[in-house]
Amino acid sequence: MDKILKVNTRTNDIRWQACSADALRLGGRSLIAHLALMEIDPNCDPLGHRNKFILAAGLLGDTNVTTAGRYSVGGKSPLTGGVKEASVGGSAGRRMARLGLRAVVLEDVPDNPQTKILVVSKDKAEIITAPEYKNLAVSASLHRLRDQFGEDAGAICVGPAGEMTMAGAGVATTDKTGVQIRFAGRGGMGAVMGSKGIKAIVFDDTGASPAEFYDRKALNAANKKLVQLLMDDPKTENRHNYGTPAVLAVCNALGILPTRNFSEGQFDQVDAISGETIAELIDQRGGMGRKGQPCIEGCVIQCSNVFPDPEGQATVASLQYENIALLGSNCGISDIDAIAELNSLCNEVGLDAIETGAAIGVAMEAGVIPFGDAHGAKDLIRQALQGTPLGRVIGNGVVITGKVFGVRRVPAVRGQAIPAYDPRSLKGIGVTYVTSPMGADHTAGNALELASSMDPRSPEGQVEASRQLQLRAAILDSLGVCLFIRPAFVKKPDLFAELLNARHAFNLTFEDVQQMGVQCLATERAFNKKAGLNTERCDVPEFMRYEPLPPYNTVFDISNAEMKKIWTVEPIQNQF
């Protein structure tokens, strides 16, 4: 696992490069940061010939460590204008890693775009022209890829939104069974992939030799500890049984549930869309269920669900908290079947459901359609598929939608929609939105887990907390493991080093691992600085500093000066 595959999408030139010594110590998010800073002009047009689309395996990508095998996509984001990384599960990442690949880099753009597929197998990569995939919806694309390349091949693809280079487009993938549709959703990476004329990338690891691990026994032992710590944590069972929708009631109680375009923090019809309701409906209606859905082989949490319509037929898999919040309460929609359909539509078009839900909320505020109009919301997403002017506006995300319709309440930081946690009543995540090189992204450091141990509405201590959360997120995304295994590292901070040392013959201490996170974020900030994204301009949206959020009537009151100190504050000792 030491090669980088480079594909010039204009010339179809394919090169295999050995990883540099520096790159060998990086993976996933940190490898993307490194390659971006080394190879991409930070001032380039994100959808032009000088940007690159990078797919990177995590440092534990080829292992059986629980949840490992996730991978990252990244490059310069058409939304934030800075470097972006988005991580996802599914089966492609581990296959890519098992092919000995640390990264795949798509370079340049075609002069005359045709729909193409990059197929990577043992010691071989080729580009296939595949016009039959043009504008094909995501699930049809993934099923067709499965038929064409076999169910053991892992694939990623973009939907029509990516092909149309809409800045709200994500990169889709599926698990081994083909049931789930998962997205590396944030930052518009689907548009970057689409700009390269590559509809899909397929990894077939048939015949690939198993990687040589430095100490397989130690790795297994460390994984066993990790699994045990997870099984001992009550959150694991809760996630297994209810999935991410479980937090909806929590967020509503905290007053941070985006409601009617972030004008409220609690939804009056919350019961209709809560995790409990969803679980009941799945149980009543049947289908593939709410437990035990695979996202990645070997995951012991398995939080995914398959949400069925009243006849028990799958509507969307998996139905997740953020999407329910943005497409549901944020749009004033309480019909959970309609929300599931909206989510499915986003998936099929290949749009990030968070960005799109936020854009629809802003369009509702502008009066394009009324709040609560699920039928109208579906039409907006269908219009994106058709490429109408209105559909393209929505597909390009919340900031463009706000500008076009002259809306002042636009929930975005650094050009990217704020996810399902209003920072006025969860202040730590606001610090993350503003100071993270990723912009408004809950996976970059979510303070929700601290809501019971510190006052989420007090400005005190949030900068320090966000720093710690951001470091840990960067490390997890560099290893290619799920953010949900974090409780294990809170209890046993040395576990990161154990896993990495056993896999790679590193000689890392706890501090070294923390330093990996620091370095990753510093590299990303260096890229963003060169891209002109200086921190002085960045803040939460203006309305969040002035408009009190019901029910707690909070505003975001951590000063920019305070937030700017984040990379100079003392780390919290021995803690992830």
Give the binding site for a second copy (CB under 8 A).
43-45, 47-50, 78, 81, 164-167, 368, 388-390, 392-393, 396, 400, 403-406, 408, 530-534, 536-539, 542-543, 546
Question: C-beta of 391: minimal distance to a second copy in Å?
Answer: 9
What's the rounded Cα separation, in Å, for the pair 29 and 186?
13
CB of 47 to a second copy, least distance (A): 6
- Cβ atoms of 125 and 115 within 8 Å: the answer is no
Work out how close the CB of 428 gets to a second copy at its nearest, in angstroms, rounded to a whole number. 22
Nearer to a second copy, 81 or 411 (CB): 81
Distance of CA 475 to the CA centre of its chain: 15
Edge-to-edge strand ranges of the sheet holding 3-8 = 14-18, 3-8, 101-107, 53-57, 71-76, 83-88
Q: Exposed (0-12), middle (13-18) or buried (19+): which is 492, by Cβ within 10 Å? A: middle
| Shortest spacing between CB 195 and a second copy, in angstroms | 8
Q: How far is the CB of 53 from a second copy (least distance, A)?
A: 16
Smallest gap from Cβ 40 to a second copy, in A, equals 13
User: Helix or strand or coil: residue 136?
Assistant: coil
> Which residue, 37 or 230, has its beta carbon nearer to a second copy?
37
Q: How far is the CB of 541 from a second copy (least distance, A)?
A: 8
DSSP state of 554: B
Task: Return the C-alpha torsion angle 401, 405, 406, 407, nearest 10.
Answer: -60
Could you tell me if 511 and 494 are in contact, meaning their C-beta atoms sit under 8 angstroms apart?
no
Closer to a second copy by CB, 81 or 90: give it. 81
- Tell me the pairing of strands 307-308 and 198-203: unpaired
Nearer CB in complex with a second copy: 113/294: 113
| Closer CB to a second copy, 92 or 359, in the complex | 359
Nearer to a second copy, 263 or 446 (CB): 263
- Token code pair at residue 222: 């460390």
Q: What is the closest distance, in whole angstroms, from the C-beta atom of residue 460 to a second copy in the complex?
A: 24
* Separation of alpha carbons 335 and 452, rounded Å: 30
CB of residue 65 to a second copy, shortest distance in Å? 40
In the complex with a second copy, the residue whose CB is nearer, 51 or 329, is 51
Whichever of 320 and 435 has its CB closer to a second copy, that residue is 435
- 83: helix, strand or coil: strand
Q: Is the link from the previous residue into 318 a cis peptide, with omega within 30 of 0?
A: yes
Q: How far is the CB of 255 from a second copy (least distance, A)?
A: 24
| Partners of residue 314 on adjacent β-strands | 308
Q: Name which of 543 and 567 has its Cβ closer to a second copy.
A: 543
Q: Is 117 helix (H, G, I), strand (E, B) or coil?
A: strand
Question: How far, in Å, CA of 538 to CA of 265, rounded?
Answer: 23
Residue 2 CA to residue 236 CA, distance in Å, equals: 33
H helix intervals, 177-296: 189-195, 216-232, 234-242, 247-254, 275-285
Cβ 435 to a second copy shortest distance, Å: 14
Give per-residue burial for 341-355: e unless 16+ CB within 10 Å, then b: bbbbbbbbbbbbbbb
CB of 390 to a second copy, least distance (A): 4
Q: How far apart are CA 299 and CA 257, in angstroms?
A: 28
Phi, psi of 301 (to 5 degrees): -90, -50
Task: Write down the least CB distance from residue 540 to a second copy, Å.
Answer: 11
Does a cis peptide bond (omega within 30 degrees of 0) precede residue 550?
Answer: no
Residue 180 or residue 383: which is nearer to a second copy going by CB? 383
DSSP state, residue 304: B
| Cβ neighbours of residue 415 closer than 8 Å, sequence gap 6 or more | 77, 79, 80, 81, 397, 399, 439
- 193-229 burial, b at 16+ Cβ within 10 Å, e below that, comes to bbbbbbbbbbbbbeebeeeebeeeeebeebbebbbeb
- What's the closest the beta carbon of residue 182 comes to a second copy, in angstroms? 25
Cβ closest to a second copy, residue 341 vs residue 539: 539
Q: Taking a C-beta distance cutoff of 8 angstroms, is the pair 520, 478 a contact?
A: yes
For the chain, state the CA radius of gyration: 22
| Cβ distance to a second copy smaller for residue 27 or 162 | 162
Q: What's the closest the beta carbon of residue 532 comes to a second copy, in angstroms?
A: 2
One-letter amino acid at 473 equals A
By C-beta, is 143 or 378 nearer to a second copy? 378
Query: Which one, 282 or 531, has the nearer CB to a second copy?
Result: 531
Closer residue to a second copy in complex, CB, 195/462 = 195
